[in-house]
Structures are given as structure tokens and as C-alpha cells.
Amino acid sequence: MFTELNSILNSTPDSFTQGEFILLSDRQSDASFLIHHFLSFYLRARCKVCFLGLVQSFSHYSAVSQRLGVSLTQAKEKGQLVFFEGLKESLSILIPQEGNTESQAMDFLRDPAVGLRSLYEFVVSSVSGAGRAPEGPEEWGPPVLLVDDLSVLLSLGVAAGAVLDFSHYCRAAVCSQLQGNVVMLVRCGGDEEEDEGDDEGSAWLLRGLTHQCSLALHVQGLPTGYCRDIHGQVEVCWRRRRADGQHTQTKLFQYKVHDKGASFFARGTSSAVL
């Protein structure tokens, strides 16, 4: 959990906005450090977390979280964390072996026509389990869905429109009905000019998700090129709907990721970048 980022977003594990859809994205950079931040943040906030890990194994996320002071193993054992290991589940379907148990959540790999309904039902059943903690009378906080990363579904043959529908229904179930939060990561690769004309690519998916979110954090490289002391920049965009229309506020920060945290600088305040 990065305290400087909490200050920028004006949130702490004890006080944060509920019902938010937070969109993380990157282009020619790596925004995965933000996924680790929000995972540790919501676990510290005692939220019931459903994590769709479509990119890395549980051991990878566990090792990073351990450096941030959070044990994913303990969170799973307590029932606070439901971790869906997408790589393992996909392999059990694509390379079936005797004794493997297949998950219905990945039914779209067997039959693309069924879409993401089973994955959505898995999410709903996981977050609906938010309630009394097993060790005492205290209850878990609002449910949270984290996805790393949504664009992987495109590479598995799911249409961008179906992925947008999935995110919409997840937002309706978690944010609107249960007053929880959703955090999704989308990666945009390649040249922006090429992606603009692709109505089924990650850039098109990102534009559709941007219209749904209330907070967006976009990670990109420095326009000046490589810098040893600064790893890139994050554009933070707050989107608030009011009676007189939608209001958008955007701020740009430079960042550097450390082994156990990250530093953020208002653009131009770091001596490392002119």
C-alpha cells in the first residue's frame, strides 16, 4: 500500500469512497504496481475481496503483497480473499489432464458462444459472501472486485463488446447493488494510431471503460524518454456526475517504484526530470 498515492486520492483504509469503479491502464509501461497497491489497500480495509488474477500466479501476487506487509495466504484462509487463478484454470481446459478439476467460470474457452456469464456468476457468488468474519462478531467491509488484467480476455477470443458487457454487469452488481468497489486493469499495446481504427482492440475497450469509471489512473512512460530516477508518469482523472452534468478533474504525477513502495511527484517537481 502506497501512502503517497492514498494522499493523492484522498483515501485511507479507514475512510474511502464506496461504489467506485476504478480503471487502471497503461501504454508502453507497466501499471501492475497499482494492482498490488489496491489489493493491499482493500485487504487492510477489511473488505471482502474477489481477485481475478488472469496474468500471474497466486504465488507471484503473494510474494509482492508480503513485501507490502499483507499476507494473501492468511486472507484466503480467513475467507476475506477469493483468488481466481486464471492461468491455472485456463490450462486445465486447454490442456486437460486426468485428475484436473475444471472451473465453469472459464466456460467460454470450451464454447465461445456462452460468453462471460459463468465468470460473472463466479464474481457475484464470491462478493455476495461478504459478511461476518469467522474469527468474531466483526463483519467484513464492502465487497471489492479486482481484475488483472481485463484485456487478457481479448487475447482468449472474447469480443470487446462482451468484455464491456461483463464490466458493466460487474459494476452494477458490486458498485450499485452492494456499494462496493471495482478495480480493473487494461493494457494497451502497440501504436496509438493503429489502435484507433480497431473496434475490437484494447484501445477501443479502454475508451468504453473510461465512460463507465469514476476514477481513472493511466500509466505511461516519460515523454522525454528513459530516466533512471523516474520510472514514468501517472495521469489521475476524477469523473464526477452532478446535476449540471459530468465534471472531470485531471492531474499528472511522475512516479518511482521502490521495493516496498512508490514515490509520487507533481509533474515538474522532481529534479530528475527537467
Cell numbers that stand for 85 in this block: 487463478
Beta carbons of 213 and 21 less than 8 angstroms apart: yes
- The pTM is what? 0.88
For the chain, domains (ranges, CATH) are 18-215 (3.40.50.300)
The pairing of beta strand 47-53 with beta strand 81-85: parallel
> Alpha carbon of 48 to those of 82, 121, 131, 266: distances in Å?
8, 16, 8, 33
Report the alpha-carbon distance of residue 87 to residue 58 in Å, rounded: 10
Give the model confidence (pLDDT) of 188-244 as tens digits: 875 544 455 555 688 889 999 999 999 999 999 888 777 777 888 999 999 877 666
Give the model confidence (pLDDT) of 247-260 as tens digits: 789 999 998 888 77
Q: Which ranges of the chain does DSSP label H, i.e. alpha helix? A: 3-9, 32-44, 58-67, 72-78, 86-94, 117-127, 152-155, 160-171, 192-196, 202-212
| Burial label, 228 (beta-carbon count in 10 A; 0-12, 13-18, 19+) | exposed
Q: What is the mean pLDDT of residues 254-269?
A: 77
Report the alpha-carbon distance of residue 267 to residue 224 in Å, rounded: 13
